Chain A
Amino acid sequence: MKKLVSLALGTVAAVALSAAAHAEDFKIGLSNGWVGSEWRTQMIEEAQAAAAAWKEKGHNVEVVVQSANVDVPGQIAHVRNFISEGVDAIIINPNSPTAFDPVFAQAKEAGILVIATDAEVSSPDAMYVGIDQKAWGAAGAEWLAKTLNGKGNVVAINGVAGHPANEMRVAGYKEVFAKHPDIKIVNEVNANWDQAQGQQAMQNLLATYPDIAGVWVQDGMAAGAWKSIMDANKSDQIAATGEIRKDFIDLWTKDKLNSGASVNPPGVMASALNVAVLLLQDKELKEPATAGQYGNAMYLDIPFIDSSNLAEAAKQVEGKPGYYSYTDQLSIEEAEALFK
């Protein structure tokens, strides 16, 4: 009898333990709809590493990834696959800001937490954890305005017209330059976030406007634009925004370029994952995510690299491959600090 009771107790304990262990384990789906750059690969790798780091805190976080070049319906299929798979949360770098409203509603109905990162989404059933693209654009413009002492002719090389991140970044620099009446934007072109097109665009701009003092240019296109500036032997006369890959940071250090770079770190998805795991534990945010145009955003700090901290940035990417991006993420502890 005694034996039987102890056996029963043991079973109860085991059941309770496994139930507890079960409650601590989460399955999170990561969806990426574009694999055109190493930044996206790094984004997923950092998120996977962040998930593994939760093990020390006693949580098994399993990530399942869907990452491929897909059209919008293809990425909607990603979300539907995750619903079929029965994940606890979905973190998505979305191909469209608005197209996922119905499918996110479906995910929420199935009890799934949805977080978008890198690009904001309009769905009230999702939240956004990432940087404010408008502030990102403004930060580069602030640096440029300060470096030029508030006057001079400026050109802008933008990404894909109509892409929401691009439009927000453009709105960001326009707002800043509008505050400096002596800074004149003489031309704005689109180079589709393509390094070669950025180089070509800069060449054309240099040929058209001999008196350019500043260039506002985004991401990988900056490396292309700087190539043209250096080819024209104008690197001592022009200040231009830069980018965050190791190759460029090395060039920047070596040639002492007059540059400054807003950082959109590939670690944003890892940050979103840490927030997701805390939310899945039913913890409550100190400040609910209500920022941004859709009222569902939680903005992360935007690091900025300029001559004052270039050496630190170079140190972080030392020994990494040339395409590795300078990164930053919300650690578990930093994320925990945001919760009650």
Chain B
Amino acid sequence: MEQKTNTEAPKAYKPLDYKNNQPIRWCPGCGDHAVFNVLLKAMAALGIPPEKTAVISGIGCSSRLPYYTRTYAFHTIHGRGGAIATGFKTANPDMTVWQVAGDGDCLAIGGNHFIHEVRRNLDVNLLLLNNRIYGLTKGQFSPTSARGFKSKSSPYGTTEDPFIPAELAFGARGTFFARSIDVELGISQEVMEAAARHQGCSVVEILTNCMIFNNGIHSNITDREVRPDRTIHLVHGEKMIFGRDHNRGIVQDGFGLKAVTIGEDGYTLDDVLVHDAHCEHSFVHQMLAMMDGTDLPVAVGVIRDVEAPSYERAVAEQVEQAKQLHGFTCLRDVVMAGDTWEVK
């Protein structure tokens, strides 16, 4: 192995440095292709070496992603990616961990691990690929499918309300939430890099399309013609402006939010809110994340990004403090410090 010295410049990585030579098995047109390619770019841009990078997933179409990477990668069991990532990252905090999960993997069978991983603020970058369907098992409704959604396992329509991932993440006291769309490559890369820079559990929801079992599920907001009016790209410190003509904005309306046209009904640019992703209180972040594309545009970009102690660092720090506490160096020290007697 080549040894780096301090005088050398840090090695620059290319996206292909993080990709292995395995054939990619996602269906043609699947949104996961785009997410994977952007992830490779984000990894290269971040410049963390492949050997310091881990990709951990559960089971599902999107969870196949680790098989295509040249990192320390682990394709685990359904729903358990978060728990396995927790052990992995806690054991070795020096690794940068990407977790990849689908909506069924993360929010149904793995729902418990998800909320606790978020609550603990484990420093992982959690890519939640939300296509609102079970693809690998060929088309059953998922916990993000809308009420009444018809599928093979709900032929008359579901009789239950869906989870909204952001709401769940905020309910679990998440410190980072971002959203993108599979076709928004630039925004996807931006939020992935921001997620990696955030020290804590970074939940990145990416709306993906399943060509085979749920084609067009997000098209009411993602189609090229409607996207500018039904989505808004939030950037910290910038005005919340959107629309084909960049003349629409989000303003405060009592305790809620409202989309207005600048220059109409007395609204000026000054009325438009400036995004503050670093605000400790999550109330406005939640309102922004819950905008659903009907009256208010769906928010993409980094919605919330606040500092808090990450779990694995806290564990590591406590270990260091505890070591100082008693000065034990080995098991024998511990045993001898207790009640002992000698038999001669």
Q: Are both chains from one complex?
A: no
A residues with CB within 8 A of B: none
B residues with CB within 8 A of A: none
